[in-house]
Amino acid sequence: MASVEVFARTEIGCARERNEDAFLVFSLAAGTEGQRPEQRVVDLGPRGVVLAVCDGMGGAAAGDVASRLATEALADAARRAGSLPDVATAEAVLLDGVGRANAAIFEYVKAHPRARGMGTTIVAAALFGPTALVCNVGDSRAYLLRGRNFVQLTTDQSVVGQMVARGELTPEQARAFEQRNVLLQAVGVQPSLRPELVEVDLMAGDVLLLCTDGLTGVLRDDRIADIVLRKRDPVRVCRALTEAACAEGAPDNVTVAVARFVGTGLAVPQGPSPVVVRRREAAVRAS
């Protein structure tokens, strides 16, 4: 039986006064959130796992509230569904969670005008059967490690991210670009969203990483890949990544969630096996 080992960790970093990031580890089998040892390994059946990391924005305008509202909305959507029998259901759960998060943040701002400007990124993954479905809004990221092949699954929804996608900047040039933190989309900021959906067929030994830009802002992809490759175990990977970011000065909060896929129900790579990504765009409006 195929299974997934999961863990997540967040650190305040070296410069911020509070942590505006948040993460979600939700087991549909248990119907609850949690990282207790007995919940870290979950069968990859229809009652799989929803993982997410969120990077709240706004500082004094309650970015920490925005990220918390987002993870709560995703957990509520997963709890309501109860299972993920197919890709269509998984997509509906993730988009429902994003829509609920968008609406919740809008309502919070209406009730608390001083919080105007708050919002959050979301990168969330529904893990079930031999499939991972990722939903992305903003510039937090999802990566997949297969063998030594480390692939960024998501596209940054930022000015710089789109320039990289069009080939106008290299990833290395983007790291020093003046407008690298200007987002094109964030949850709770505008009534309509166009989340990116990324679908991947999983293989035995694959490792999925979700992270906020507090990690990618200070560690290059090759350094991140090396840590994931050497540590493997999700608990050790999460600790090593957050500690490495802090060792580099971590001017932002740093949050990571890691899933490692194992078991006989997954195909075994035969030599180098490419990561085939199926990408599409969806539409969400705040209710």
Q: What is the CATH number of the domain that holds 252?
A: 3.60.40.10
| Residue-level pLDDT at 38 | 73
| Residue-level pLDDT at 195 | 97
C-alpha 259/C-alpha 251 separation (Å) is 26
Q: Is residue 121 included in any domain, yes or no?
A: yes
Q: Is residue 280 included in any domain, yes or no?
A: no
Q: Is residue 210 included in any domain, yes or no?
A: yes
Q: Is residue 286 included in any domain, yes or no?
A: no
| Residue-level pLDDT at 120 | 97
Q: Is residue 285 included in any domain, yes or no?
A: no
Can you give the chain as a three-state secondary structure string? CCEEEEEEEEECCCCCCCCCEEEEEEECCCCEECCCHHHCEEECCCCCEEEEEEEEECHHHCHHHHHHHHHHHHHHHHHHHCCCCCHHHHHHHHHHHHHHHHHHHHHHHHHCHHHCCCEEEEEEEEEECCEEEEEEECCCEEEEEECCEEEECCCCCEHHHHHHHCCCCCHHHHHCCCCCCCECCCECCCCEECCEEEEEECECCCEEEEECHHHHCCCCHHHHHHHHHHHCCHHHHHHHHHHHHHHCCCCCCEEEEEEEEECCCCECCCCCCCCCEEEEECCEECC
Give the residue numbers spanning the domain of 128: 3-265
| Residue-level pLDDT at 36 | 81
Give the pLDDT of the chain (287 residues) as one tens digit per residue.
Answer: 789 999 999 999 999 989 999 999 999 988 888 888 777 888 888 899 999 999 999 765 689 999 999 999 999 999 999 999 999 999 999 999 999 999 999 999 999 988 888 999 999 999 998 999 999 999 999 999 999 999 999 999 876 767 777 776 777 666 666 666 778 899 999 889 999 999 999 999 999 999 999 999 999 999 999 999 999 899 999 999 999 999 999 999 999 999 999 988 899 998 888 999 999 999 997 65
Q: Is residue 275 included in any domain, yes or no?
A: no
Amino acid of residue 64 = D
Q: How many domains does the chain have?
A: 1
Q: Is the dihedral of CA 162, 134, 98, 34 positive or negative?
A: negative
Q: Is residue 46 included in any domain, yes or no?
A: yes
| Residue-level pLDDT at 179 | 63
